[in-house]
Amino acid sequence: MSKIDYVLNSIKERNPGEPEFHQAVLEVFDSIEPVLSKNSKYLEEKVFERMAEPERIITFRVCWTDDNNQIQVNRGYRVQMNGAMGPYKGGLRFHPSLNLSILKFLAFEQTFKNALTGLPLGAGKGGADFNPKHKSDREIMRFCQAWMLEAYRHIGHFTDIPAGDIGVGEKEIGYLFGAFKKIKNEFQGSITGKGPLWGGSFLRPEATGYGLVHFAEYMLAEVDKDLANKVCLVSGSGNVSQFAIEKLIHDKAKVVAFSDSTGFIHDEEGVDEEKLAFLKVLKNEKRESIAGYAEKYKSAKYYEGTEKRLWSIPAECAFPCATQNELDESDVQDLSKNGAILIAEGANMPLTDAAIKAVQHSNIIYAPGKAANAGGVAISGLEMTQNRLGRYWSRSRMETELRVIMQGIHENCQDTMKKYSLDAQDYLNAANIAGFERVAKAMVAQGSW
């Protein structure tokens, strides 16, 4: 067994029963193997093994009282993955399926994503196996306060700065931040995604979705195309999906499908600004199924459950923005057969290993999430800067900053393709190598702690 093979096998053996984490590690490892082969110091210093081992994993009990005065018990987490580039930075996810395999994969991906932004950010991820759906605002508030009562001792604006993720929007961030402020008795930028009236940043809600579309624009420009009049599929209907749809509409693309956990909508006429506004009310305020969209708009059809796959609808561009492993090999084959030219990830690791291999054997241009969906953490990083300065920057400035950062990530990928003689448009390997090199250099420089 070669030394490189030994590295990968040892990581798998140390983390049994964690398929999502194994998948994330293998994807990056496959990309950087040539870098490890050429740089023996990275092998000697065991840089990749250290990257794949969280610096700290915190798990804790969260007890709270529901509206029926019954005590409920959940499990809270914070994975502080890598602090070589800056304080730990990454979102919180509230979802009943959450476990350490998912959190470690997310934190591992976050390491490279944060490095690609060019901002001084380490990487972390956290949350709880709590389901905010069908909970009252009071129940969500009590849960957030209970979560923070333990987690506060591990976070701070120079230590670890959580943000939102699935199940954690501005409302939950508000409750978490209010609890932190009360416990610590100080107003600091210890959490990002705050409202713009109380320490937040303009454009933060839109940043991931907008940044995703910006990155897609830069990719298409490389092959002399653009998004105008392109038929697009967007999975999900949460924050990232909503603002990806919004930006696609602005760019004159035609979004014909979106989804939630109950099924998906196919709207042959396309989503316009009026329909998107209704979708936002349906999901953000009423918290109802997207089935209501089809009831209101007769051009739309609702497909419940798995009776049909969203990715089977003919389209030129696909934006998976829901969750991990939502596209399999057959989905990619359907997209390719129907003439798709682009897949850009708004979610983290939404393609299975088999799906990625299928993309690589097709003519579809593929944007990995660690590059394409970095807009959210980029604006969060700038929110941290504003908090430390005690300043608010204008929306127009934030729009410029976001575009510059996404363009910088794209250029970094392009430069890496040339440096390592990668195939044109090989954004997957380019993003992995570029992120790895930045973090590896910082880790080696700081010694083998």
**Residue position matching structure tokens 């210093």:** 45
Which sign, positive or negative, has the C-alpha torsion 199, 202, 206, 207?
Answer: negative
Answer whether 204's CB lies under 8 Å from 173's CB: no
- CB 420, CB 437: distance < 8 Å: no
What is the edge-to-edge ordering of all strands in the sheet holding 160-164?
Answer: 56-65, 71-82, 123-128, 88-94, 160-164
Give dist(CA 166, CA 322) in Å, integer.
9
> 127's torsion region: left (phi>0), alpha (psi -120 to 50) or beta?
left
Whether 193 and 164 have beta carbons less than 8 Å apart is answered as yes
Which residue type sits at 212? Answer: L
Secondary structure in 3-state letters for 174-216: HHHHHHHHHHHCCCCCCCCCCCCCCCCCCCCCCHHHHHHHHHH
- The rounded distance, in Å, linking the Cα atoms of 128 and 124 is 14
Annotated active-site residue 370? The verdict is no
124 HSE (CA, 13 A, CB side): 29
- Say which of 89, 104, 113, 125 is annotated catalytic: 125
- What helix, strand, coil percent values describe the chain, rounded to 5? 50, 15, 35
Give dist(CA 239, CA 348) in Å, integer.
14
Active site residues: 125
